[in-house]
Amino acid sequence: MNIVIKNATIVDSSSEFNQKKVDIKIENGVIAEIASEINSTNFEILSLENLHVSSGWMDSSVSFGEPGFEDRETIANGLNVAAKSGFTHIAYQPNTSPVIDNQSIVSFVKTKAANFATTLHPIGAFTKNQEGADLAEMYDMQNAGAIAFGDYKKSTANANLLKIGLQYTQDFNATVIAFCNDSLIKGKGVVHEGIKSTQLGLKGVPPLAEEIVLARNLFLLEYTGGKMHVPTISTAKSVEMIKEAKVKGLNVTCSVAIHNLVLTDEVLTDFDTRFKVNPPIRDKAHQQALINGVLDGTIDVITSDHCAMDIEHKKMEFDMAKDGTIGLESAFGVLLEILPLDVVVEKLQAAKSIFLNDENVIKVGSKADLTLFDPSKEYTFNKNDILSKSKNSAFLNHKMKGFVYGIYNNNKLVIK
């Protein structure tokens, strides 16, 4: 579609138009002109209050459910939710049924996701059926469209298998996603181990469960070479170890989940299972270390870690409930309460350069891959703001600063 976006403030540190208010003319999905005033004859006009535009955002960890768990979320509705939440790209986790562990399932998922404004990029499982025993068909999956390989929320217990995988994936320049959690140290823990877990009588997950596996994985990466992405780190020591690894020159990136960045374990007082996530929401000291890690560049990516979960698996005793919270719809509004706008935009875009090798800049001749938002609007996030099929949001009744209008991508405009 051909469109002129009027009076938009550009938020793109790589663009010559950064922080300037301009009109943007888009023809056939490509930015044709950027100027202070553009003749819009025969073009559709888009004019929105306090409109800001950045290069499109990418969420590096999204779980809907389809195939197999369509009762939690479908790909079609999930992509519509992502678009209205400001994400032009999502990395789709393999925790489906069947698991995304071969090229046919990768192709199936990509076919289901075709022709949407938001582009879905499958993550292939690192091991067959995510069981940690045998490597999955990673090369074939990459040829079918997978962008990286990892078992969702599962550490590879077999260190030799991870070593072989890191060596093998170098042949086709693939990224291994290595979640860090020692299941034996975690045991039956369900929340952060600390004062709050003791007060509530809930079994705790010590930071050591994450850190000991991360240390091992970084040693393996140093030995093998290759590319590793560490998803959703949650502890101060993890931030330190990632920083040290980068100083050494290791090819490692990492992400943090929004709920670990914004919330602390003080929210657990009412045993609300919306706050049961993996890794667990930790205390104030760890939260501050994560914020500092974002600000100093140690943490590359902020993810919603969106995980749709049906009410039957959430409305039960805390110990028994499934992990996970949805987060696409609330991502932007909660981040602006703790981080500057330019940092939020940078960290929501960063996954594109890591996983897609895409340094999309707002300039004439570039593909129109844009997120549209108002960074000043304040409101309270309630059930009416949840567009997902599942309603397990950790941010219900949370005060928001920043409202997403929608996106323009793949020659399609989606406005909330």
Whether residue 385 is contained in a domain is answered as no
Q: Is 140 a catalytic residue?
A: no
What is the rounded distance in angstroms from the CA atom of residue 269 to the CA atom of residue 291? Answer: 23
Do 146 and 205 belong to one domain? yes
Q: What is the model's pLDDT at position 61?
A: 98
Give the residue among 24, 31, 32, 19 at the shortest CA–CA distance from 7: 24
Give the residue among 131, 78, 132, 125 at the shortest CA–CA distance from 304: 78
Categorize the per-residue pLDDT at 393 as very low, low, confident or very high, splitting at 50, 70 and 90.
very high
Do 128 and 146 belong to one domain? yes
Residue 123 reports pLDDT greater than 90 = yes
Q: Which CATH number fits the domain that encloses residue 129?
A: 3.20.20.140
Degrees to nearest 5, angle at CA 262 with 256 and 264: 105
Q: What is the model's pLDDT at position 18?
A: 94
Residue 187, number of CB atoms within 10 A of its CB: 13
Task: Give the whole-number percent of the chain exceeding pLDDT 70.
Answer: 100
Q: Who wins on pLDDT, 181 or 360?
A: 181
Average pLDDT over residues 238-260: 98
Residue 73, number of CB atoms within 10 A of its CB: 25
Whether residue 386 is contained in a domain is answered as no
Whether residue 192 is contained in a domain is answered as yes
Do 149 and 250 belong to one domain? yes
Average pLDDT over residues 188-211: 97
Do 23 and 130 belong to one domain? no
What is the rounded distance in angstroms from the CA atom of residue 94 to the CA atom of residue 8? Answer: 37
Do 196 and 78 belong to one domain? yes
pLDDT tens digits along 301-313? 999 999 999 999 9
Categorize the per-residue pLDDT at 210 as very low, low, confident or very high, splitting at 50, 70 and 90.
very high
Do 106 and 195 belong to one domain? yes
- Whether the upstream peptide bond of residue 375 has omega within 30° of 0, thus cis, is no
Q: What is the model's pLDDT at position 177?
A: 98
Do 136 and 201 belong to one domain? yes
Do 269 and 401 belong to one domain? no
Whether residue 388 is contained in a domain is answered as no
Do 143 and 284 belong to one domain? yes
Do 12 and 138 belong to one domain? no
Helix (H) or strand (E) holding 7: strand 3-10
Whether residue 182 is contained in a domain is answered as yes
Note down the domain range covering 105. 56-355
pTM of the model: 0.97
Q: What is the model's pLDDT at position 1?
A: 81
Whether residue 170 is contained in a domain is answered as yes
Q: What is the model's pLDDT at position 406?
A: 98
Whether residue 360 is contained in a domain is answered as no
Q: Cα dist. 119→1, 18, 154, 348, 365 in Å?
A: 17, 25, 25, 15, 20
Do 286 and 351 belong to one domain? yes
Average pLDDT over residues 229-247: 98
Q: Which of 101, 283, 300, 305 is catalytic?
A: 305
Do 120 and 32 belong to one domain? no
| DSSP one-letter code for 171 | G
Categorize the per-residue pLDDT at 264 as very low, low, confident or very high, splitting at 50, 70 and 90.
very high
Residue 360 reports pLDDT greater than 90 = no
Residue 42 reports pLDDT greater than 90 = no
Average pLDDT over residues 64-68: 97
Q: Which CATH number fits the domain that encloses residue 371?
A: 2.30.40.10
Q: What is the model's pLDDT at position 31?
A: 96
Q: What is the model's pLDDT at position 281?
A: 98
* Structural domains counted in the chain: 2
> Average pLDDT of the chain?
97
Q: 232: Cβ–Cβ under 8 A, 6 or more apart, which residues?
A: 61, 179, 255, 256, 257, 260, 279, 303, 305
Q: Do 278 and 155 touch, CB atoms closer than 8 A? A: no
Q: What is the model's pLDDT at position 40?
A: 79
> What token pair was written down for 19?
């922080």
Categorize the per-residue pLDDT at 397 as very low, low, confident or very high, splitting at 50, 70 and 90.
very high
Whether residue 280 is contained in a domain is answered as yes
Categorize the per-residue pLDDT at 207 as very low, low, confident or very high, splitting at 50, 70 and 90.
very high
